[in-house]
Structure 1
Amino acid sequence: MDVFAQLPPELVAAILANLPDLESLYNIAKASPGVSRFLNSPLGATVLDGLLDSWSSTILGESLTTDGDSRKRHVTTKDLGTTPWVPYILRLIALLRHCAVNDQPADDLTSFILKFIMPSKEMEGVPQIRAIPSHRVPNIRLQDLGVKQAFLTREILFLIRKLLVLASECFDFFLERIKSTRPHHLADKPSFLDQRPLWGHLTGSQPWGQPYEINAGDEASWYEIQRLIIGFCMLQLRYELSNAVYEGRLDWPADDVKKIRFMGNSDPCVPMLENSSIQLIWEPMWAAAIYVASLKGASNDSSSFCVGDTNVERNRLRVFFDTGFQPLEEEYLQLPRPKREDPSLKWPKVVVRHHEALYFGESLYLDYEIVLFGSKGSRWAADILCPPLGRRMTEGLLFRPLRRLGFGIWDDKRMVQMEMIDDPSAEPYIPRRFSLWGKDQAFTWASLLSPEEKEELRTYQEALRLEKERNYDGFSDTG
């Protein structure tokens, strides 16, 4: 017997509002048809709004303590479920499912970004994405969207579960890939290193690299899972924009539609944001797109190529971070079913961030910043492989092969464990493995390439060498 079906909606709302988390609401909705129907009412949307708020909230209470002559504000925190961007993007998804030709969220893509992502009032100089949504963005509430055919609260709840399952699977996917690599450290560091082909040999056929067994660990960190959750949220948001156009509910210019569906590089959709830190937060979405392509049996087409023109002075970092993905199809888009879908549709186990009590002066937002900007694999890649003055050893190497190995999501601890970086938090007296963003570190990163990718890089660099020789000879002849 479904007890909830016999209760008045106000009483059901009061009971569900006291649930501790989204998992509890999901389990009840799955077991009770009455609650499942209730969720699609304004009261049901209010319940989900409250649980979304608590999912990204950490503060339980505050008190003052005295330490000698100073007074400190003591902040008691609870385990952190997710970053504030996740509930916000989920509400944006609901907003787009709710939109209609006579109820547009914005006039075009640029105004959408400036209204909902990076408010125009804060756009002084080069705009930067924040660790949490700005207080200037609209306060989107599910209960304010109304009951429409295109938007059902229950759908959002079940979408959250799907995103969590896909994020966990995606982590395992990249972990398996990085564990299959056979990296090398530079055994010798000859002064002529830059003058030889990348995977050449020293005199006497001695290999440059010393192979080692990579230790990639096992369990996902909270930061890594959060990046992937955000990645799948952003991919779903892109799907929703495309779907709204496809279904005739979003009347935006044709150029905007192309930008929404274009997946070819990490340049932002809006030119004014091309030098913004918004580029960094796109990496988790590309990771999600790689896993989605694998689930669909797609090859990502040209994303398999690993070389291109990495001249930073000529191209900035645009080419280096190109994805090579094909545009989204002009059809109804949705995330695929998880590969290891549980027949019972249980709520997945999710890593949480455990906090100790904090004191005033310590940033409560540090964790959020690390999620968005803390992956050294993507943040340092250009400086290591593609420095401003060039590096012949890795000349032409794009970020694509490293992206396919999870370098857009790994946290510092895993990168240190895999011997890809020195510990950024280590004391100065601790010996470093690598010179700062030096050739030895570039060698280790490039050693992760597959034999086919190494051969592709060799061929590309040889073609560059021959072209430079021809240009030099032509210059000499004219001189």
Structure 2
Amino acid sequence: MSSSQCGHPDILATLPSPVLVMVLEQLEDLASLHSAYRASPAVFSVLHEAGTARRVIEAIMDLSLLEVTRVLIRKFAHLRWNAHPVAGVDTFSKQYITDDTEYSQLPREIPLPVLCDILAAASTVRYLAHASLHEMIDRCMALEMYRLENPKLKYIRNAHRTPALWNSDYFPVPKPPRERYQQADAGPPSAMEEQMAIRALWQLLLIWELRSAVSGPNPRWNWSASEVSKLQGLSLDELWQPSLTNQLIEQTRTVADCSCTFPALPSPVERYRAAKSLARNAEWRLPCHCCPSAIQTKRIDSHGSKYDMPGYSFVLTTLSPWYTSPCRYVEFRSFRRFGFALWDRTRMAALGLLYPDQGCPKLPQSPRSESDQYVRWESILSAEDLEDIERKRKHFWPGVDMVHLESSRSIDGITQFFEPRSDPLY
């Protein structure tokens, strides 16, 4: 509803068009532009001027989003516009998954309705990002976490291993004495965490948009039955595998498992419709007031960060493969619901699961030893996860190490002896 319809004057109408455009180009994000577009007749009018909407959207994206996310949004726009018809899965993969060369800018000839779709989608993504981040933060804060009573204890998997430190006490598979400790709240999502969630959701929306275009009661594209069937048989992982690292795919799995993306619904098209409806019914208003500023976002980009999330790296490089870990052979999916693929080191340190950044003071809840750190992670796992670890531990011949990087098919080949726990089709 516009401001004039609400009885309030449209203050932006007093600005000359060139000045109004300059103001709009400095907005914090695309969701703010969408809000202004819906509320102000002046903004509505100026964005309908030839080329203005595209220029303003590009300026705001440059100010508020990482380059990888800007590319995803341009791909979404191309998909909505269907400027280059996609005949099947292979064509889609080539044009939208592996090829980024055509997506440096929005095309000048792109229709205004498609640009409006970008704004609505951006508002939906921001809403879902904050809903999912706060859901996972609340889940982390509700955890009952434990540490070793005696942090000097060490863990040894079996007697066939030579202890690393001969003067230490070792505990076997049965749990040693533990005590509760209190994790700390690291506050609202950081700029990095928000950007990772936003990027992951745009990845999800791009695939959902494709599925919506070729299936459902009124498909926009006339794909053959064989191509539709081929798409339905591919998971989110398999579609993105050619161009993304496992960590980035894991971040998309994480947001796809949050309640605001309706993982219980049977089809991606239904999930897409429900997620958009949820955000629209809330009028895209966030349940919080914690959006990081565009300046904080630009600081991430200018530092040339690799966007490495330390929780994911710790599980795959230390907790799961290392023989002195009681969580050996654990898969990252066991920790997915807590958002560990998205949290920065500050939040992971506040939870007491990782050490603070080098040069930062230790926190009261920081791990006190390597084995103490392992037990903290173990205390998060469910009984099913622990049974799964024990089955794998008993399967491997004593003294034989297995170090792996988790793939879309988990520990491919090695875990064929165990009952698989498949991820839902996104």
State TM-score, norm by structure 2: 0.69
In structure 2, give the amino acid aligned to 1:240. Answer: E
Mapped contact 2:240–2:249 kept (Cα < 8 A) = no
Mapped contact 1:242–1:257 kept (Cα < 8 A) = no
Partner of 2:189: 220
* Alpha-carbon offset, residue 177 of structure 1: 0.1
5 Å-filtered alignment, 1:29-178, equals 29-32=37-40, 36=44, 39=47, 43=50, 46-57=51-62, 81-99=64-82, 103-104=84-85, 108-109=88-89, 112-119=92-99, 136-141=101-106, 143-146=108-111, 151-178=113-140
Mapped contact 1:375–1:408 kept (Cα < 8 A) = yes
5 Å-filtered alignment, 1:450-465, equals 453=382, 455-464=383-392
Quick check: 1:381 aligned with 2:282? no
The 2-side partners of 1:89 and 1:185 are apart by 42
The 1-side partners of 2:175 and 2:102 are apart by 57
Partner of 2:211: 242
5 Å-filtered alignment, 1:432-471, equals 433=367, 438-449=370-381, 453=382, 455-464=383-392
Mapped contact 1:197–1:461 kept (Cα < 8 A) = no
Quick check: 1:425 aligned with 2:358? yes
Query: Tell me, what secondary structure is at the counterpart of 1:393?
Result: coil
In structure 1, give the amino acid aligned to 2:221. Answer: R
The 2-side partners of 1:237 and 1:224 are apart by 20
The 1-side partners of 2:152 and 2:292 are apart by 41
Query: Tell me, what secondary structure is at the counterpart of 2:358?
Result: coil
Quick check: 1:269 aligned with 2:239? yes
Partner of 2:167: none
Distance 1:401 1:270, change over 3 A: closer
Q: Deviations over 1:274-306 (max 9, x none)?
A: xx7532222332222112xx2366558xxxxxx
Mapped contact 2:205–2:272 kept (Cα < 8 A) = no
The 2-side partners of 1:364 and 1:48 are apart by 24
- 1:281 paired residue among 248, 266, 283: 248
- 1:366 paired residue among 294, 298, 303: 303
The 2-side partners of 1:347 and 1:457 are apart by 33
Mapped contact 1:242–1:261 kept (Cα < 8 A) = no
The 2-side partners of 1:459 and 1:248 are apart by 47
5 Å-filtered alignment, 1:173-212, equals 173-186=135-148, 187-191=150-154, 193-195=156-158, 198=173, 200-202=174-176, 207=177, 209-212=178-181
Partner of 2:407: none
Mapped contact 1:261–1:327 kept (Cα < 8 A) = no
Query: Tell me, what secondary structure is at the counterpart of 1:211?
Result: strand
* Alpha-carbon offset, residue 108 of structure 1: 5.0
* Alpha-carbon offset, residue 328 of structure 1: 3.1
* Alpha-carbon offset, residue 191 of structure 1: 4.8
The 2-side partners of 1:169 and 1:24 are apart by 17
Mapped contact 1:99–1:250 kept (Cα < 8 A) = no
In structure 1, give the amino acid aligned to 2:254. Answer: A
Mapped contact 2:263–2:271 kept (Cα < 8 A) = no
The 1-side partners of 2:154 and 2:287 are apart by 56
Percent of aligned positions that are identical? 19
The 2-side partners of 1:433 and 1:465 are apart by 25
Structure 1 residue runs of 5 or longer lacking an equivalent are: 58-79, 120-133, 301-325, 470-479
* Alpha-carbon offset, residue 159 of structure 1: 2.1
The 2-side partners of 1:226 and 1:395 are apart by 31
Query: Tell me, what secondary structure is at the counterpart of 1:144?
Result: coil
Q: Deviations over 1:19-64 (max 9, x none)?
A: 232466434422346754775x572xx333223322243xxxxxxx
Query: Tell me, what secondary structure is at the counterpart of 1:217?
Result: coil
* Alpha-carbon offset, residue 230 of structure 1: 1.1
Distance 1:464 1:220, change over 3 A: closer
The 2-side partners of 1:270 and 1:417 are apart by 32
* Alpha-carbon offset, residue 176 of structure 1: 0.3
* Alpha-carbon offset, residue 12 of structure 1: 5.7
Mapped contact 2:88–2:227 kept (Cα < 8 A) = no
Mapped contact 1:165–1:338 kept (Cα < 8 A) = no
The 2-side partners of 1:260 and 1:216 are apart by 41
Partner of 2:403: none
Structure 2 residue runs of 5 or longer lacking an equivalent are: 159-170, 398-426
Mapped contact 2:36–2:43 kept (Cα < 8 A) = yes
RMSD between aligned alpha carbons? 4.3
Distance 1:342 1:201, change over 3 A: closer
Distance 1:442 1:250, change over 3 A: farther
Question: Paired residues, what number?
Answer: 367
Query: Tell me, what secondary structure is at the counterpart of 1:426?
Result: coil
The 2-side partners of 1:346 and 1:36 are apart by 23
Query: Tell me, what secondary structure is at the counterpart of 2:64?
Result: coil
Q: Deviations over 1:160-201 (max 9, x none)?
A: 122112211111101100001122223345455323665x24
* Alpha-carbon offset, residue 241 of structure 1: 1.3
Mapped contact 2:193–2:343 kept (Cα < 8 A) = yes
Mapped contact 1:55–1:81 kept (Cα < 8 A) = yes
* Alpha-carbon offset, residue 224 of structure 1: 0.7
Distance 1:112 1:30, change over 3 A: same
